[in-house]
Structure 1
Amino acid sequence: MSLNLTVEDILKATKGILIKGNFKDKVDSISTDSRNIKKDDVFIALKGEKFDGHEFVKDAILKGAKGVIVSRDVNLEDKAFIIKVQDTLKALQDIANYYLKTLNAKVIGITGSSGKTTTKNLVGRLLKLIGKVYVSKENFNNEIGVPLSILEAEKDVDFLVLEMAMRGKGEISLLSKIAEPDIGVITNIGWAHIGRLGSREAIMEAKAEIFDYIKEDGIAILNRDDSFSMKIYERLHIKKYTFGFEEGSDLRGLILDKGKESYTLGLYFPDGKRLTLSLPVYPLNIYRNLLSALLVLWSISPESIYRVKEDFDFTLPKQRLDVKRNKDGLVIIDDTYNANPDSMKTAIEYLELLDVPGRKVALLGDMLELGNYSIEGHKEVIEEVLKRNIDVIVLYGQEMKKALDEFEKIDWSKVHWSDNPEEIKSILRRSLQPKDTVLIKGSRAMRMEDFVKFLEDEYDCSVKY
């Protein structure tokens, strides 16, 4: 990273005060983590709920930091410069926005209830066909991660692809203000964080904040198949396009042929261009992520869609429908990254779509942060898995049990429940047969990845395909 900024630039960006140092000192890299300080980094002392960076200022200097940005008085006797600001987090964000204005890069901001990371990676892969791209690292999607991502982009980058996440109202608006996107993408409006926001309408309003600070000539890209996304579309007064499988989508997808291991996807663009791709078998929700990414490419360079090869790399991020198997044919689908009712249904649909020789098994853990909607959300997921062609259903957690209690009849020969991880492992040992395919999914706090590791160790599922 080489920001090529000066102390004077930092003072302009943050309205800070130079306590010690030279206005002409260079600032080429910024760090918020004293453990990873490199020589000549500038250390920003962030204060969080569990830590205060000011306690590590001296450590940062000892490791070679050439300066520090702080919000309280510190005593340093060496040559390091000191900039004092009112709020170090805001200073980080202001510096990122200032640096962004020195770049000649288009910013693509991506948000939504699910599919953000998949879409971000697909956009990055596609834009590499036409320029130099920086894609934000995994989980660098909040009020700290987004500015750090901007500050990691090199000067000559053409496209900056940023994921924007939120847990409450106003958070995406802040990220939009920092990043000022040229293109804003909303993948969908679902259940994620409904426990905090109270309704899908409130989630819709929070996601729509991505357009609060979009450029005047910016572009909105939204999901036509999603009614809440279309409510946002109707009220926007900027250039806007839709993607989806419904008639009327600006970029419409159609499944032209279904094979056992691949689908042929037809793509129909707003200007009449057409493209056909052969893709791995996935549910439509996963293909919608690709549609949105292709629409980003088309909106920037329509002719460039013909550079997308038929065997386009459509690998998903880790812990998203990540498939492994052992030598006897037992298959694990690791989808443990996180869970809400929408992503649960997508994963269950994927399990049903797979053409496999053995039985299909679903291990589903509690979905957290659904608040008053928890029972309803878990009931929807249980109804979904019961109606699908799934042979064995293993439910894990107290929220699943509360929803199960709402059902009058359950076929306990195929449905199992426990809130004890060791009992879940015992159920799997008793139930699994050599050629079974097992889907594992649930909220992060349920540690569903432990069950993936258990099966990998127990059955030697080390081969990916």
Structure 2
Amino acid sequence: MLDLTLTEIAEALQGELVITDDAARAGWTPETVVNGTVDTDSRLIGTGDVFVAKRGEFDDGHRFVGAAVAAGAALVVVEHAFAAEEGRALAVPQVVVADSVLALGAFATEVVARVRASGDLKIVGITGSNGKTTTKNLLRAVLERVGETVAPRDSFNNEVGAPLTMLKLTAGSRFLVAEMGASGKGEITRLIRMAKPDVGVVLTVGLAHAGEFGGIETTLATKTEMVQDLEPDDVAVLNIDDPRVAGMAGKTRAEVLWFGLSDAAAVRATEIDATASGTTFVLHLPDGSSKPVRFAVLGEHHVMNALAAAASAHVLGVPIDEIVAALETVTRAERWRMEVMGGKDGVRVINDAYNASPDSMAAALKTLALIARPEQRTIAVLGEMSELGPFSVEEHDRIGRMIVRFNIHKLVVVGEGARAIHLAAEHEGSWGGEAIFVDTADEAFDLIAADTRADDLILVKSSNSAGLRFLGDRIAQANSIAQPDPTGGAAS
């Protein structure tokens, strides 16, 4: 974070600075400078950091103020002061605000504005129904080769996660990669107004979170927010192969840079070849340059994310050699996203159970079918795709039928929320042990453990809420290659 005095922070948050007698005796004054990391998780607080006490659905961060101070917090942002008469006086300053989440956003807005004013910060905003985190990771890998780059950890892309990322900016930061998700209209606009992008990327518009949004049209309107506030000298990086995204070109004043597989895309991939070790393709940029890429991230669908990252980097002046070199260093999209594990007796587990939508589920199944050798058995272990609302049964049914058409050899469906996958697969002709339904991940593990054969290729896929990412880890661990004993087996 930038160096800011306590007074400057309080003003940015529109809050009241409280320095108790205990804090004053400890040496704190309104002009004391704070520059530590800002977080809402007291477990991540260290010496000099700022703890924001946020009320959540299941807990209240105010309960952990004491733990944050004990861990070394230099400042706490709270919705009520911890007063001496309550027996809870703090020996660190407090900024008291009306709403901690809104204050966090205001804090981020101030820091972004200061870094912009004093340096040459460029901001890339990324949204889409699928691929945000992968694209963010790929673009970070590229931009880090050029200058100091700030990007979110995991999928920090909401009204809390996005500002926490923005608050990591320093005076020397050259790039901010902001992943911008939403569960309703107006949320992307709110994030953009904290940190307006110079480059706005829209990947896809699909049924992910359709239940929360209320339908595909609301999803489209929400994702379009990414490009509506862009200025004429900004750039909208749009997926020409997604008709809904392509339609956004008429909703923005910014220059449009198309990416995709279409010949009309200025940033495109040709000669795509997907295998079990990754995907090769030739990257083409608008300046006429082209270069082959050996992309280790599994799944042909991730080529689109690589194109989006390459397009954004090109806008920011990164040459093709640097772009390709960076893309080739990335070996996985993210933890639990098309992560290849295992190895014992040739068994491979593709753990892709961090998130799932109809589009990403179809892409993962296509990858499973595409990369398997002719003699190799394929197994899909699938759980629920959450947040689909009224589309849930229909979309799970579609996936079940798709599995049979892809000729996946064995299907294990886990949990009542995904039962429609199993029913559809059976209806399509998958029976006699080819399609099995179980209630729990433990049952699925026992079933897979008892039936795994040499060279099996196993996909584990579900939404995060279904918890199958841990099942994928268990299956992979049971089939992992044992590491040699570094002591040579000697007694210790």
User: What TM-score does the superposition give when structure 1 sets the normalisation length?
Assistant: 0.91
Q: Tell me, in whole angstroms, the C-alpha distance in 2 between the residues paired with 1:46 and 1:245.
A: 44
Is residue 282–residue 353 contact of structure 1 (8 Å, CA) maintained in 2?
A: no
Query: Shift of the alpha carbon at 1:400?
Result: 3.3
Residue 119 (structure 2) pairs with residue 99 (structure 1):
no
Is residue 225–residue 244 contact of structure 1 (8 Å, CA) maintained in 2?
A: yes
Q: 1:394 aligns with which of 403, 408, 412?
A: 412
Q: Secondary structure at the match of 2:114?
A: coil
- Map of 1:456 onto structure 2: 476
Q: Tell me, in whole angstroms, the C-alpha distance in 2 between the residues paired with 1:258 and 1:59.
A: 49
Is residue 372–residue 378 contact of structure 2 (8 Å, CA) maintained in 1?
A: no
- Map of 1:143 onto structure 2: 159
Please provide the CA RMSD for this pair. 2.5
- Map of 1:344 onto structure 2: 361
Q: 1:90 aligns with which of 95, 102, 110?
A: 102
Q: Tell me, in whole angstroms, the C-alpha distance in 1 between the residues paired with 2:165 and 2:317.
A: 24
Query: Shift of the alpha carbon at 1:362?
Result: 1.2
- Map of 2:243 onto structure 1: 227
Query: Shift of the alpha carbon at 1:267?
Result: 2.2
Query: Shift of the alpha carbon at 1:58?
Result: 4.0
- Aligned CA distance change for structure 1 residues 434 and 32 (closer, same or farther; 3 Å): same
- Aligned CA distance change for structure 1 residues 236 and 352 (closer, same or farther; 3 Å): same
Residue 394 (structure 2) pairs with residue 376 (structure 1):
yes
Task: Spell out, residue by residue over 1:215-266, the C-alpha distance to the aligned partner (whole angstroms, 9 max, x if none).
Answer: 5632211111111111222221211211100121121211266777565412
Query: Shift of the alpha carbon at 1:119?
Result: 0.4
- Map of 1:318 onto structure 2: 335
Residue 35 (structure 2) pairs with residue 28 (structure 1):
yes
Q: Tell me, in whole angstroms, the C-alpha distance in 2 between the residues paired with 1:411 and 1:79.
A: 66
Query: Shift of the alpha carbon at 1:195?
Result: 1.1
Q: 1:67 aligns with which of 49, 70, 75?
A: 75
Query: Shift of the alpha carbon at 1:423?
Result: 3.8
Q: Secondary structure at the match of 1:241?
A: strand
Is residue 255–residue 263 contact of structure 1 (8 Å, CA) maintained in 2?
A: no
Q: Tell me, in whole angstroms, the C-alpha distance in 2 between the residues paired with 1:42 and 1:49.
A: 22
Q: 2:430 aligns with which of 393, 407, 411?
A: 411
- Map of 2:192 onto structure 1: 176
- Aligned CA distance change for structure 1 residues 346 and 22 (closer, same or farther; 3 Å): same
Unaligned runs of 5+ in 1: none
- Map of 1:130 onto structure 2: 146
Q: Tell me, in whole angstroms, the C-alpha distance in 2 between the residues paired with 1:388 and 1:71.
A: 54
Is residue 422–residue 437 contact of structure 2 (8 Å, CA) maintained in 1?
A: no
Q: 1:433 aligns with which of 453, 458, 462?
A: 453
Tell which deviates more after alignment, 330-339 or 256-265.
Answer: 256-265
Is residue 42–residue 67 contact of structure 2 (8 Å, CA) maintained in 1?
A: yes
Q: Secondary structure at the match of 1:221?
A: strand
Query: Shift of the alpha carbon at 1:78?
Result: 5.8
Q: Tell me, in whole angstroms, the C-alpha distance in 2 between the residues paired with 1:133 and 1:101.
A: 16
* Matching residue's letter, 1:417: F
- Aligned CA distance change for structure 1 residues 24 and 271 (closer, same or farther; 3 Å): same
- Map of 1:277 onto structure 2: 293
- Aligned CA distance change for structure 1 residues 177 and 391 (closer, same or farther; 3 Å): same
Is residue 261–residue 355 contact of structure 1 (8 Å, CA) maintained in 2?
A: no
- Aligned CA distance change for structure 1 residues 462 and 156 (closer, same or farther; 3 Å): farther
Query: Shift of the alpha carbon at 1:282?
Result: 4.5
- The within-5 A match list for 1:205-220 is 205-214=221-230, 217-220=233-236
Task: Spell out, residue by residue over 1:85-142, the C-alpha distance to the aligned partner (whole angstroms, 9 max, x if none).
Answer: 2222211111111111121321111111111111001001111232221221113221
Tell which deviates more after alignment, 419-428 or 282-291.
Answer: 419-428
- Map of 1:14 onto structure 2: 13
* Matching residue's letter, 1:71: E
Q: Secondary structure at the match of 1:185?
A: strand
- The within-5 A match list for 1:259-274 is 261=277, 263-274=279-290
* Matching residue's letter, 1:349: K
Q: Tell me, in whole angstroms, the C-alpha distance in 1 between the residues paired with 2:474 and 2:70.
A: 43
- Aligned CA distance change for structure 1 residues 411 and 325 (closer, same or farther; 3 Å): same
- Aligned CA distance change for structure 1 residues 74 and 382 (closer, same or farther; 3 Å): same
Query: Shift of the alpha carbon at 1:158?
Result: 0.8
- Aligned CA distance change for structure 1 residues 81 and 248 (closer, same or farther; 3 Å): same
Is residue 46–residue 53 contact of structure 1 (8 Å, CA) maintained in 2?
A: yes
Residue 240 (structure 2) pairs with residue 241 (structure 1):
no
- Map of 2:315 onto structure 1: 299
Q: Tell me, in whole angstroms, the C-alpha distance in 2 between the residues paired with 1:297 and 1:134.
A: 14
* Matching residue's letter, 1:446: A
Task: Spell out, residue by residue over 1:142-198, the C-alpha distance to the aligned partner (whole angstroms, 9 max, x if none).
Answer: 111111111122320111112122222222222112222221111111111011112
User: What TM-score does the superposition give when structure 2 sets the normalisation length?
Assistant: 0.86
Is residue 378–residue 400 contact of structure 1 (8 Å, CA) maintained in 2?
A: yes
Q: Tell me, in whole angstroms, the C-alpha distance in 2 between the residues paired with 1:46 and 1:32.
A: 6
Q: 1:353 aligns with which of 370, 380, 384?
A: 370
The count of residues paired between Structure 1 and Structure 2 equals 461
* Matching residue's letter, 1:323: V
Is residue 18–residue 81 contact of structure 2 (8 Å, CA) maintained in 1?
A: no
- Map of 1:188 onto structure 2: 204
Unaligned runs of 5+ in 2: 20-27, 484-492
